[in-house]
């Protein structure tokens, strides 16, 4: 989590660094404590691990620099409240972007980014590169909407000629005491979830993807037709209907309809029942709720054969659609392993075009992305427990 500090040293603004170093130190230790609290709450290393793979930490990134002057941005949707969703909802700029980016069936691909991930040679570049070298995935870039969580991410996004939307954090005072950090962090994650609900309310289906998911093939042909909510997994047990699968909120396809909008409302409302959990952990609780059954929401879990990750890789290069750099601690480690993963894919495509056998291809990663105590103590089992066991 301290990565963001070191990343800043490359931005050529040492005076800002110095000014903010003290605050970052406080914030860093607060986050460490926060992680420990999560860890202790769950009594599972896995829990901490999942949380750590659930970057970006939007508030962390923004904290490392003073807020930009918001008036300098051409796309500002100011927000009075922390959630600020009432304003986003009526935002004509957002509507315009969605209209431009949507496929014929009103589907958009959405990712969110902070400054650290948007920086040159970081996650965003790798993500875009994967779509360029993937098999017939280049065209999908036209349907991608990048939600920038801070102004520098927004600016970088626009230089790449993508559809970029700046979801401002005006109203959040980053110079507040670090003790507030817990709230800010959770608020930002919920802001994302509620933002996705707005997309549904605007009538668009979305495929949400974390930017650390590399796209090698068009995922749409592998999705279930006519399913409301389908989501990739850190760990997949072979049965797409089994709610005991461990989903990862980093990749999900959600259709816009009455059921999914109601489900997103219910998801947000469940915060009150689990105030100490983030939205991904709450999903693991509410997926079993009778209310979700009552809504009639159809939910499916996507196979890691097609939608893999470092937790559970797609083994067959001839099938893989996406690979997520999940189960990874540290942004530097992530970037290194994802770069190697793209090299693996290029090697595969070279063999294919030379009509050479590819049966024995396997990923050379992860190398850097490993749990901090791998090989020591009890084996880390990523999904060895039922989420219902860990209600705090
Ligand atoms: C959004 O726009 C509609 C009509 O254009 C208006 O009735 C409504 O009050 C607006 N909502 C907000 C929160 O501004
Ligand atoms: C790429 O896609 C085309 C068209 O769908 C297909 O014919 C070809 O076999 C694919 N190549 C690979 C390596 O998957
Ligand atoms: C898959 O899971 C569903 C829901 O738990 C269950 O009804 C079904 O029998 C399972 N299918 C198989 C093949 O085990
Ligand atoms: C989400 O739920 C919280 C309470 O848990 C509520 O205060 C907030 O208004 C809700 N936000 C949205 C956008 O529905």
Ligand 4 atom closest to the CA of 197, numbered from 1: 13
- CB-based pocket (< 6 A), ligand 2: 135-136, 352
Handedness of CA 108, 112, 115, 116 (dihedral sign): negative
Residue nearest to atom 9 of ligand 1 (CA): 90
What pLDDT score was predicted for residue 86?
A: 63
**Low pLDDT (below 50) residues in the chain:** 1-22, 24-82, 173-181, 374-392
| pTM of structure | 0.77
Number of the ligand closest to the Cα of 85: 4
What pLDDT score was predicted for residue 151?
A: 86
Which CA distances in Å does 163 have to 37, 158, 338? Answer: 38, 7, 23
Residue nearest to atom 3 of ligand 4 (CA): 269
What is the CATH architecture assignment of 3-301? Alpha-Beta Complex (3.90)
What pLDDT score was predicted for residue 345?
A: 98
Domain boundaries, the chain: 3-301
Residue nearest to atom 11 of ligand 2 (CA): 135
Ligand 4 atom closest to the CA of 265, numbered from 1: 14
Number of the ligand closest to the Cα of 218: 2
User: Ligand 3 centroid vs 318 CA: distance in angstroms?
Assistant: 27
Neighbours of 123 (CB within 10 A): 26
Ligand 3 atom closest to the CA of 244, numbered from 1: 5
Cis peptide leading into residue 366 (ω within 30°): yes
User: Ligand 4 centroid vs 274 CA: distance in angstroms?
Assistant: 13
Task: Select from 331, 304, 328 the least CA-distant residue to 237.
Answer: 304
What pLDDT score was predicted for residue 69?
A: 33
């Amino acid at each position: 989590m301290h990565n963001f500090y070191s990343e800043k040293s490359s931005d050529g603004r040492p005076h800002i660094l110095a000014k903010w170093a003290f605050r970052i130190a406080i914030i860093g230790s607060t986050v460490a404590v926060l992680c420990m609290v999560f860890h202790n709450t769950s009594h599972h290393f896995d829990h901490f691990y999942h949380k750590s793979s659930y970057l970006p930490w939007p508030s962390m990134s923004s904290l490392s620099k003073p807020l930009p002057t918001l008036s300098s941005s051409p796309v500002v949707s100011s927000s009075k409240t922390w959630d600020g969703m009432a304003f986003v909802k009526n935002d004509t700029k957002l509507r315009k972007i969605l209209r431009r980016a949507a496929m014929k069936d009103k589907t958009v691909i959405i990712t969110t980014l902070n400054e650290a991930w948007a920086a040159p040679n970081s996650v965003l570049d790798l993500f875009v590169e994967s779509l360029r070298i993937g098999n017939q995935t280049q065209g999908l870039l036209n349907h991608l909407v990048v939600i920038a969580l801070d102004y520098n991410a927004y600016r970088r996004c626009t230089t790449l000629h993508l559809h970029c939307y700046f979801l401002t954090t005006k109203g959040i005072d980053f110079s507040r005491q670090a003790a507030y950090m817990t709230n800010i962090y959770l608020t930002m994650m919920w802001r994302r979830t509620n933002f996705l609900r707005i997309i549904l309310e605007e009538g668009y289906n979305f495929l949400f993807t974390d930017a650390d998911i590399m796209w090698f093939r068009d995922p749409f042909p592998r999705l279930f037709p006519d399913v409301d909510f389908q989501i990739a997994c850190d760990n997949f047990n072979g049965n797409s209907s089994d709610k005991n699968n461990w989903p990862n909120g980093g990749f999900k396809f959600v259709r816009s309809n009455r059921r999914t909008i109601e489900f997103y409302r219910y998801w947000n409302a469940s915060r009150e029942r689990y105030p100490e959990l983030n939205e991904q952990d709450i999903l693991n609780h509410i997926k079993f709720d009778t209310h979700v059954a009552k809504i009639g929401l159809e939910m499916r879990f996507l196979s890691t054969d097609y939608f893999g990750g470092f937790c559970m890789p797609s083994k067959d290069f001839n099938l893989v659609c996406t690979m997520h750099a999940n189960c990874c601690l540290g942004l530097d480690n992530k970037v290194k392993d994802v770069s190697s993963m793209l090299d693996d894919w290029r090697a595969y495509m070279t063999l294919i075009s030379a009509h050479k056998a590819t049966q024995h291809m396997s990923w050379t990663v992860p190398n850097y992305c490993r749990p901090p105590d791998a090989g020591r103590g009890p084996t880390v089992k990523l999904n060895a427990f039922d989420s219902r066991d860990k209600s705090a």
